[in-house]
């Protein structure tokens, strides 16, 4: 079984490709994460757990969910990470969580896809040609990754140095604390009140009030789902995102 969370479709694309190659089912964890539903998930075949990378780590809502959910059946787990180029300590985090659950971690595979981090000032926009190239290369890599899983192999992962933990573990939460404020999202007049942003938020913190989204918490995970998937691009962030191209594989011609 292939389990995944995906805000803008990169992880979904890889998860579904793997499920198709493995002849297995893929399960989108969005509703379970939103509802804090940790009820058991059973798989008789190895689990493939797929996540994006946020600030060199697993998204905190994803690691919290993984720690709590009950996983029954086959004890073998493969990790899949999608990123814009660097996974930091995310793979090691996943390994630790899986081992703590008494399961066998068989390594993780990384996929370099377009970064969706549009609210980050230093986020570099890439052109359609580069987007297509990364997607094509990742889909082709997924074929090889599926072969390894199918044959019960292991992924070899690079050594993660102590200094990487020492830098990431204290610094990432501080960066998130100061940079992931919800008050900086604002909604333009062209909002069509469809409620998609509210339905897609993994933290379930967007409420529709008077036909417009309202963020109920001061901070969020900055997964980019609301801002990137709005059908009319009505959501903006500070003065950073106006005029910036939105990115999502979901529902776009890029979806394969």
Ligand X SMILES: Cc1cc2nc3c(=O)[nH]c(=O)nc-3n(C[C@H](O)[C@H](O)[C@H](O)COP(=O)(O)O)c2cc1C
Interface positions with ligand X (CB under 6 A): 6-12, 52-56, 82-86, 88, 113, 115-117, 222-224
CA–CA separation, 185 and 56 (whole Å): 23
Of 166 and 192, CB closest to ligand SF4: 192
Of 171 and 192, CB closest to ligand SF4: 192
192 lines the binding site for ligand SF4 (CB under 6 A)? yes
Asked if 217 contacts 182 with a C-beta cutoff of 8 angstroms, the reply is yes
33 lines the binding site for ligand SF4 (CB under 6 A)? no
203 lines the binding site for ligand SF4 (CB under 6 A)? yes
User: Smallest gap, in angstroms, from Cβ of residue 116 to ligand SF4?
Assistant: 10
CA–CA separation, 209 and 216 (whole Å): 11
User: Smallest gap, in angstroms, from Cβ of residue 195 to ligand SF4?
Assistant: 5
User: Smallest gap, in angstroms, from Cβ of residue 190 to ligand SF4?
Assistant: 7
134 binds, among ligand X, ligand SF4, none (CB under 5 to 8 A by kind): none
User: Smallest gap, in angstroms, from Cβ of residue 214 to ligand SF4?
Assistant: 10
* Count of residues near ligand SF4 by CB under 6 A: 29
197 lines the binding site for ligand SF4 (CB under 6 A)? yes
47 binds, among ligand SF4, ligand X, none (CB under 5 to 8 A by kind): none
43 binds, among ligand SF4, ligand X, none (CB under 5 to 8 A by kind): none
193 binds, among ligand SF4, ligand X, none (CB under 5 to 8 A by kind): ligand SF4
Binder of ligand SF4 out of 10, 93, 225, 241 (CB under 6 A): 225
Our CA angle for 133, 138, 139, nearest 5°, is 100
Cα radius of gyration rounded to whole Å, the chain: 18
Asked if 89 contacts 58 with a C-beta cutoff of 8 angstroms, the reply is no
Of 33 and 55, CB closest to ligand X: 55
75 lines the binding site for ligand SF4 (CB under 6 A)? no
239 C-beta neighbours (distance < 10 Å), count: 10
Chain contacts with ligand SF4 (rule: CB under 6 A): 182, 187, 191-197, 200-203, 205-206, 213, 215, 220-226, 230-232, 234-235
């Amino acid at each position: 079984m292939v389990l995944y969370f995906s805000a803008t479709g990169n992880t979904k694309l890889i998860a579904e490709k793997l499920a198709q190659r493995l002849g297995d089912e893929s399960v989108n964890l969005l509703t379970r994460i939103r509802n804090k539903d940790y009820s058991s998930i059973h798989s008789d075949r190895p689990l493939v757990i797929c996540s994006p990378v946020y600030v060199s780590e697993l998204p905190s809502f994803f690691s919290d969910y993984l720690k709590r959910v009950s996983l029954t059946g086959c004890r073998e787990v493969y990790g899949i990470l999608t990123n814009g180029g660097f996974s930091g300590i995310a793979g090691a985090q996943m390994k630790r969580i899986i081992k703590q659950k008494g399961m066998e971690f068989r390594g993780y595979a990384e996929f370099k896809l377009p970064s969706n981090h549009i609210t980050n000032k230093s986020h570099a926009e890439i052109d359609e040609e580069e987007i297509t190239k990364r997607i094509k290369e990742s889909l082709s890599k997924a074929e090889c990754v599926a072969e390894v899983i199918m044959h019960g192999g292991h992924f070899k992962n690079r050594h993660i140095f102590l200094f990487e933990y020492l830098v990431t573990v204290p610094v990432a939460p501080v960066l998130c604390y100061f940079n992931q404020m919800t008050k900086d999202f604002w909604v333009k007049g062209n909002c069509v009140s469809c409620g998609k942003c509210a339905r897609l938020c993994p933290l379930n913190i967007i409420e529709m009030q008077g036909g417009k989204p309202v963020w109920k918490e001061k901070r969020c995970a900055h997964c980019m789902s609301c801002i990137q998937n709005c059908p009319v691009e009505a959501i903006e962030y500070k003065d950073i995102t106006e005029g910036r191209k939105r990115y999502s594989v979901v529902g776009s011609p890029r979806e394969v």
